[in-house]
Amino acid sequence: MKMRMKPAAAEMLVWSYPDPVHLPICSGCFCHIPKNEIPMVIWSITGKHAQLCDYCAKEAFEVVTT
């Protein structure tokens, strides 16, 4: 079983460059990520990153069984 990002979700993300200080802002919906929530952080091959709140992470990925 694999997970992949839905194409529409990939297009909506705002990617950030590597930075030692990560602001608690979702790269999908731009909402504040609470301290009690651990964001999903993904990295591009070029070193950019995006972090997603629980809701956006759930909506952005799908399970692929092939």
pLDDT per residue of the chain (66 residues) written in tens, 0 to 9: 788 999 888 888 888 887 667 788 999 999 999 999 999 998 888 888 899 999 999 999 998 887
Positive or negative torsion for Cα 63, 48, 16, 32 = positive
Neighbours of 60 (CB within 10 A): 22
Radius of gyration of the chain, Cα coordinates, nearest whole angstrom: 12
Model confidence pTM above 0.85: no
C-beta of residue 57 within 8 angstroms of C-beta of residue 29:
no
Range(s) of the domain holding residue 51? 2-64
User: In this predicted structure, what is the pLDDT of residue 20?
Assistant: 63
Whether the Cβ atoms of residue 42 and residue 49 lie closer than 8 Å to each other = yes
CB 57 within 8 A of CB 40: yes
Total structural domains in the chain?
Answer: 1
